[in-house]
Chain A
Amino acid sequence: MSKKKQKEFLALYEPVHERFERFCRARVYGDMEYTDLINETLLRAYQKFETLKSKEAFLSFLFSISVRVLANTKRKKKEEYHNFNDEAIRVEDVNSNTDKNAEVFMLYKALAQLQEDQRESIILFEISGFSIKEIAAIQDTSESSVKQRLRRGRLKLRELLSPKEVQPREEVKL
């Protein structure tokens, strides 16, 4: 076991842990345990560590691997996919005093309703704080595609998180 390699790897990982943990937690909602994703990503990143050309690229290196791990997992588990109950994600009262975690939980649920690419782009941009250029590199796509995913994803999110308009009852004529 190369202690030096481990030490070097963990030294690079420690400062990005919180950011990476938040990404994993938001990204895997409904798919798998986020701790599994973290661990699996770290193992793969460690195996590929020699291929990392510069330490500055470690963050996007890590995120790219986690994106790939998720894509593989998602494909394999497609048959086991469960649809979320639409009713369950409706936010009836946005001004209620729900605590912060509960609101974020609702956000995760809503994010899980988006298309995979949109969901990932939004999390990377809004929660993990990557630039559009960086996201394009992580997702292996063009910047314009990322912009489009962000725009469509936000629209869809807004739709999902908005309270459903109550239709006025038709008067019943006797």
Chain B
Amino acid sequence: MNNEQVNIDQLFEQARSLETQVSYDQTKKAFLTSLLIGAGGVLATKGVLKLLTTKKWLIMMSAITTVTTVSVVGVMSFSPAVEDEANTILPNENPNFTTKELVVSSPEEKENETILYVENHIEDENELIDIAESEDFTNIGDFTIYQELFNDDTLEVDAEGNLKNEQIRPYSQRFEISSKTTMADLEQMKIEAEKAGIKFNYKARIKQNKLKSIALHTEIKTKNNHQSMSITSDDFKEDDEPMIFGWYTDNKGKAIEMGYGDESNVKCSTGANDRTGKGHQHEHQVHHDDYEYAYAYNYDLFEGCDSLHIEISENMEDLLENLEEELEVLETQIENRTETIDLSGVRVILQEVNEESKELFNAIQSELNVLFQEIEEKGREKKTEQ
């Protein structure tokens, strides 16, 4: 080797013997932290609703149920007209009295949405067994989660339990571009884009029915809004995650902003909603003296929230199971008591009370009449004396 040339082998040797900058423990810690999202928990789909119950909630529900039962019985007694109807309402049949705390509103349907290829990015479905509800949440702002779940102050929620931060708007239209995208798909994309007022030009290279590369130029041009975006991507491979292109629309269905990227990285034509990094993973842990729980959710920056994972500690699970059993016992007791009340007896008593009240009222009124007469007579006597 020429002396003037760098000894490459020596440099490689140095690189091989270089000390690590990140230790195994640091890596392990970072990995385990990130893993929470994919860990799942002990909760089954319906179990989440029950196990998230808190003691306070149970007591409150029991109290409401009891008060309502008594009220219903009272109303039945005073209102014979609704007697039959009222008799059919039992606490556990009333839709207002379920033990559900976690309500996830169903996503709004997106009109005319075209998704060319939808792939499940999570490759191990077994890891998702414990996902609470839907994989189709489109707007994280639509979550209505029981307030107490978020009392740990790690997440800002408004009075109605909606998330205040990280509001993610789903794209009105979104398209996935991958090696499977065909010319027909691109034409469809162009049609949809032009409907929304987007000038859409593309050049694609397709080899053996596989998209190899693409160049897109898109433009929104109105009186007050002029944006354009050029996107090029090449070397598509079958296993690659798709590139996503989408846009927001106004109430009239006209595009107001465009964006492209993937679930963790979005670039927008205005730059206002650019998001990068691992924003699709959120996790929160709540620690109490006698129990702890953690919850985490994923969201796709193009689609909004897509899953919710909740995990609770074993002691909390035991605690909640005990509380759940207590609630069942209480409900049974209430049901039994409701069944054993003799409604005809109550009605007889109330009729008696009514009759006695009427008699009392009449007696008071007659005494008042006598008093008025006496006062009038005394008044007359005074006048005659004067």
A binding-site residues for B, Cβ under 8 Å: 1-2, 6, 10, 13-14, 17-18, 21-22, 25-26, 35, 38-39, 42-44, 46-50, 68, 71-72, 75-76, 78-79, 91, 94, 100-101, 103-104, 106-108, 126-127, 129, 154, 157-158, 161-163
Please give the distance in Å from B332's CB to the nearest CB on chain A. Answer: 35
Bound CA span A10–B30, Å: 12
Bound CA span A5–B28, Å: 14
Contact of B8 among A38, A49, A108, A161 (CB under 8 A): A161
- What are the 8 A-B residue pairs with the smallest beta carbon separation, nearest first? A1-B39, A161-B6, A126-B12, A17-B24, A107-B11, A42-B31, A47-B124, A21-B20
| B272 contacts partner chain A, Cβ-Cβ < 8 Å | no
Interface 1/0 per residue, B127-149 and A, CB below 8 Å: 10000000000000000000000
Residues of B within 8 A of A100 (CB): 14, 18
User: Which of chain B's residues has its CB closest to A68's CB?
Assistant: B239
B binding-site residues for A, Cβ under 8 Å: 4-8, 11-12, 14-16, 18, 20-22, 24, 27-28, 30-32, 34-36, 38-41, 122-124, 126-127, 231-237, 239-241, 243, 261-262, 265, 311
Please give the distance in Å from A20's CB to the nearest CB on chain B. Answer: 9
Residues of A within 8 A of B22 (CB): 21, 35, 38
- Tell whether A71 pairs with B240 under 8 Å between CB atoms, given A47-B127, A76-B262: yes
- Tell whether A163 pairs with B4 under 8 Å between CB atoms, given A6-B32, A126-B15: yes
Please give the distance in Å from B43's CB to the nearest CB on chain A. Answer: 12
- Known A-B contacts: A1-B39, A78-B233. Give 14 more (CB < 8 A): A1-B35, A6-B32, A6-B35, A35-B22, A39-B34, A42-B27, A46-B38, A50-B124, A71-B240, A72-B241, A76-B262, A103-B11, A107-B15, A162-B5
Residues of B within 8 A of A46 (CB): 31, 35, 38
Please give the distance in Å from A112's CB to the nearest CB on chain B. Answer: 13
Residues of A within 8 A of B21 (CB): 21, 25
Contact of A47 among B18, B123, B232, B311 (CB under 8 A): B123
- Tell whether A39 pairs with B31 under 8 Å between CB atoms, given A1-B40, A22-B18, A101-B18: yes
Please give the distance in Å from A117's CB to the nearest CB on chain B. Answer: 11
Contacts between chains A and B (CB distance < 8 A), count: 121
B8–A22 contact, CB under 8 A? Answer: no
A14–B31 contact, CB under 8 A? Answer: no
User: Which of chain B's residues has its CB closest to A73's CB?
Assistant: B265
A75–B6 contact, CB under 8 A? Answer: no
User: Which of chain A's residues has its CB closest to B12's CB?
Assistant: A126
Bound CA span A94–B22, Å: 29
Bound CA span A78–B30, Å: 27
Please give the distance in Å from B2's CB to the nearest CB on chain A. Answer: 8
A26–B15 contact, CB under 8 A? Answer: yes
A47–B38 contact, CB under 8 A? Answer: yes
Contact of B235 among A6, A38, A75 (CB under 8 A): A75
Please give the distance in Å from B271's CB to the nearest CB on chain A. Answer: 14
B31–A127 contact, CB under 8 A? Answer: no
Please give the distance in Å from B19's CB to the nearest CB on chain A. Answer: 9
Residues of B within 8 A of A42 (CB): 27, 31, 34
Question: Could you tell me the dominant secondary structure of chain B's interface residues?
Answer: mixed
Residues of B within 8 A of A107 (CB): 11-12, 14-15
Contact of A158 among B5, B36, B124 (CB under 8 A): B5
Residues of A within 8 A of B8 (CB): 154, 157-158, 161
Please give the distance in Å from A82's CB to the nearest CB on chain B. Answer: 16
Please give the distance in Å from A107's CB to the nearest CB on chain B. Answer: 5
Residues of A within 8 A of B4 (CB): 94, 162-163
B12–A48 contact, CB under 8 A? Answer: no
Please give the distance in Å from B145's CB to the nearest CB on chain A. Answer: 22
Bound CA span A13–B18, Å: 19
B240–A127 contact, CB under 8 A? Answer: no
Bound CA span A75–B239, Å: 13
Bound CA span A68–B240, Å: 8
- Tell whether A71 pairs with B16 under 8 Å between CB atoms, given A21-B22, A47-B127: no
A104–B14 contact, CB under 8 A? Answer: yes
Residues of B within 8 A of A126 (CB): 12, 15-16
A104–B15 contact, CB under 8 A? Answer: yes
Please give the distance in Å from B152's CB to the nearest CB on chain A. Answer: 20
A43–B20 contact, CB under 8 A? Answer: no
Between B27, B30, B127, the greatest number of chain A beta carbons within 10 A of the residue's beta carbon is seen for B27
B124–A1 contact, CB under 8 A? Answer: no
Bound CA span A169–B136, Å: 71
A158–B15 contact, CB under 8 A? Answer: no
User: Which of chain B's residues has its CB closest to A15's CB?
Assistant: B24
Please give the distance in Å from B228's CB to the nearest CB on chain A. Answer: 14
B124–A43 contact, CB under 8 A? Answer: no
